Structure formats: C-alpha cells, structure tokens
Structure 1
Amino acid sequence: MFALSSPQAFAFAPASVQVLPAGTWLRQRRHASDQVLYLERGRVLMGTGQGGQMRHQLGVVDGPAWLDAAFVLQKRGSCLDMLADSEVRVSHLSQAEFMQAVAALPQTAQLLLQDMSRAYCAQTELAVSRLSKDAEARCAQWLLRHALPYDTGGLRVTLHLRKRLIAAQLGIAPETFSRVLRQLRELGLIAGRGNVIDLPRPAALEALAVG
C-alpha cells in the first residue's frame, strides 16, 4: 500500500505480531491508534465499512506491505477501514519509534517519503469521499451500458457474471451492489428477478447516472 522498508530494516522490533483469521477488522476509521501496521503476509481489503461489512471496497493489499504508514507520516488518522480477506500475519509497531526511524533516514529520502505520503493521503481521501456518494450513479451507468432492447420495446440487462465480479468492476463491495439494486427496485427504476433486470424507466435511470 505504501513503499517503505520492512520493519526488519529498522533498529527496533515490532510491539507485537499477530496471526488473525479472515474477517478480522485490522483498522477502522475514526479509531485512534498509536501503532503502525505492517502486513507480513495475507490479503487485506481497503475501503469503508458499515454494519460490520465492507460497504465500499477501494482496493486490495497483498503482503508484504505497510497498511497505514502514509497516514502516520502525515500525522493523521486513516480514512480507510481495513478488513482481513484471508488469514493474515500483522506486525504492530510503535508510531513514535517508527517516526524516529524515519527521521534517521537521509534528508532526501525523508522528503521523498513526505511527498509520496501526502499525495497518497490526498488521493485516498478524495476516493473515499466519492465512493460514499456515487455507488448508485455507477450502478445506473453500468446497467444502461449493458442494456439491450427486447421484444416489448423496453430495455433489459442479463447478468452474465456473478454479482461479486460486477461489484469488483464497479469498485464497490458485493453487499453495496445488492443494496443499490434493491433501492433501484423500490424506486421503480428496475424490475425483474434473478439474472434478468428490466429497465422500465431508462430516462430516470439516466438522470441518476449523471448525478
């Protein structure tokens, strides 16, 4: 998630090392922490969670990788929720010692890390803010793009992929995709069940798609 030497390259040991099962929340937004997380192995989903689930998935990180070092370097809390997608081995390191180790690097390396972390945090925070707003618009765009006319003169979408794969294309969690489809159905913008979705009001769906 962020390029930096592994903890072994520093002159201090991890405060703790944990092996955790899939489904464990490693970091949640708005929860303060005095540690830095390093993913030694495993896979972690990054995004925004709600109700115990990853509502909007922003990315996936495969270890080895730092998970929140960029936010620590910028002295701000992580704007991402982090959920183990497999069994993971994670090192927890003291933020104070981490920052001391960074301060011992050459000045040019420190400046580079600060520039990279600043850009990463800004881009991530922008992406998170957009994710929470435009899931409905992206789903509407996807439906219209894949719609075909059928014999009654309306538009219809046949889902040839699993919803999980479609959600991945849209950059959202599968639960979010299902929730948006349910909302669109309640609004009368889509109809039908299973893998066949009718679009009875394409003009209204297009208005939603353009925001």
Structure 2
Amino acid sequence: MSEPWQDLKQAAIVATLRMTRLFGGLPPEDLDAVAAITTAVPLEKGQYLFRQGEPARGFYIVQRGAICVHRITPAGKEQVICVFRPGETFAEAALVSPGGYPADARAVEPAQVLRVDKDGFLHLVGRRPELALRMLASMSLHLRTLVGQLEDLGLKDVETRLANWLLRRCPANTKEPVTIQLDVTKRVLAAELGTVSETLSRTLARFREQGLAIAKGRTITVPSPERLRQLLRARLGEPVEPPQAPTPSTCPARTGR
C-alpha cells in the first residue's frame, strides 16, 4: 500500500500534466502512466536545470515559476529563446536528438519543474503511439514560437521590437489603456528583445516621454495602443492612417436675433 504523501504527490503531478497542451485530454490511466515516470525538480532563482550539450535525461513541464531557455552567441551574448511558464513543456526535441540538450535552461525565479524520464517516455510511446502525435504537435508549437522570434529580431531597431512586443499583449483593436504585467525581469525581457538592460531602459524612457508606454516596477501601461500601432506602422514603412476627423456636432446652430 502506498503512503498518503506519495498519493498526494502523484495527484499533484497528474493535475499538472492535465494542464498541459501535450497531455491534456488523456484518459486517467495514461496520465497515471506518465506520472509514474515523472520526477519533481525544485530550483532556486538563477539555478541551471541543464546546460547545452548535456545528455538528455528527459523533457520538462513547468509546475511553478519560470524557466529561461537560452543560448550563448559566439560573441558571448546571452540570447533568450523562450521563457516557459506554468503548464508549458520544453526540451521535447532532446528526446530524439543524439547531441543532448540544444540550449541552456535556468530558473529566473524560484521554480519547480517536472522531468518526464526519456527512456520511460519512449517506451510508453511504443505502447501508445498517439503520444507521438501529441509530441509532434507540441514541437510544432515551439517551432512557430521560434519563427515569430526570428521575425521580431529581424525588425530594424529596439524601439520597433519593443512596440511590437507590447502590441502583441494588447487586445486587438482596443483603444483603451492597457496594463501589462511582466512575469520576468527587465533583464530577461531585454534579452528576449535581442538587446541589453540599459538599452531597454533608455527605450522605455523615450516611450514614456512620448506618452507611448509607462513602466513602473513590473508593470508597463500603454495609454493609447492606437498611437503605438501608428508608430509601429511608420517604422515598418506601412501606410499610417490619418487621424479621424471629429464627428460634427448634432446640436442646431444658434442664430442671431
């Protein structure tokens, strides 16, 4: 008979698996089978989960906190690939790669991840082929994220990349002020944008002076998403829509007596 704490641990792992795109919707028996080959790994802020080139022990699911996956460029600069948050999976490609993990992974805040054992999962896939299809779908999602990141880095300057990043987090077509809560440090955000903290701070200061964005602590407020869209269109060389003329008053004109 299992100990009560083991049953609670298993239930917590199953609950996290159920949150993911990869395992959500699986029948209980399959979730239990994956949970049986899954280990919880706590991490302190700044602690590395794995380094580029290390042999793959499995892939991961963020249970709490945030994990920054990045590579070091030949110039010694850290380039963020993606920051993964609770319920997201990463490093699936390492299961079939003979070269080990393709990047570094570090906790940007106190975190806990679940490691799904490589050998155990590959054995499970042999018995449940539908898991392989789910894995392909998950890897395809990561690929789309990378393509989007390459498109962002192709934008000509940091102001354009920051404007694009902010607008992606604003509801479509809204003209009301939007407040964006950062769940990573500004240093990590700067790396995501392909720059450094000092340049990001100067860019945010310029946006504040222009009334485009106001950063305070871990929040950034966009007073007018439409103005930011106009800036982005202009920087991308797209036609800028002229401001709409005010609606004529419907009040009757006053006449002199």
What is the TM-score with the length of structure 1 in the denominator?
0.52
Aligned residue in 2 for 1:113: 134
Residues 140-176 of structure 1, C-alpha deviations (whole Å, 9 max, x = no match): 7569x9xxxxxxxxxxxxxxxxxx7698488326x63
Trace 1:34-113 onto structure 2 (pairs within 5 A).
34-49=57-72, 55-69=78-92, 71-75=93-97, 77-105=100-128, 107=129, 109-110=130-131, 112-113=133-134
Instruction: Measure, in 1, the Cα distance between the counterparts of 2:191 and 2:35.
Output: 42
Structure 1 unmatched runs, 5+: 146-163, 183-193, 197-208
Count of paired positions: 166
Residues 26-57 of structure 1, C-alpha deviations (whole Å, 9 max, x = no match): 23323322333232222112333469x98233
Trace 1:15-34 onto structure 2 (pairs within 5 A).
16-34=39-57
Identity of aligned residues (%): 13
Contact 1:79 1:125 (C-alpha < 8 Å) held by counterparts: no
**SS across alignment from 2:196:** helix
Contact 1:38 1:64 (C-alpha < 8 Å) held by counterparts: yes
Contact 1:19 1:89 (C-alpha < 8 Å) held by counterparts: yes
**SS across alignment from 1:83:** strand
Contact 2:53 2:102 (C-alpha < 8 Å) held by counterparts: yes
**SS across alignment from 1:18:** strand
2:22 counterpart letter in structure 1: L
Contact 2:64 2:112 (C-alpha < 8 Å) held by counterparts: yes
**SS across alignment from 1:4:** coil
**SS across alignment from 2:83:** strand
Determine which structure has more spread, i.e. the larger CA radius of gyration: 2
1:37 counterpart letter in structure 2: Y
1 or 2 for the larger relative contact order (CA 8 Å, sep ≥6)?
1
Contact 1:2 1:67 (C-alpha < 8 Å) held by counterparts: no
1:10 counterpart letter in structure 2: V
1:134 to 1:179, Cα distance in 2 relative to 1, 3 A: farther
Instruction: Measure, in 2, the Cα distance between the counterparts of 1:165 and 1:84.
Output: 15
Structure 2 unmatched runs, 5+: 1-18, 25-30, 165-184, 207-234, 237-257
Instruction: Measure, in 2, the Cα distance between the counterparts of 1:114 and 1:57.
Output: 23
What is the TM-score with the length of structure 2 in the denominator?
0.45
1:32 to 1:62, Cα distance in 2 relative to 1, 3 A: same
Aligned residue in 2 for 1:10: 34
Instruction: Measure, in 2, the Cα distance between the counterparts of 1:126 and 1:179.
Output: 24
- The alpha carbon displacement at 1:88 in A equals 1.2
**SS across alignment from 1:29:** coil
1:130 to 1:32, Cα distance in 2 relative to 1, 3 A: farther
- The alpha carbon displacement at 1:179 in A equals 6.9
Instruction: Measure, in 2, the Cα distance between the counterparts of 1:111 and 1:80.
Output: 23
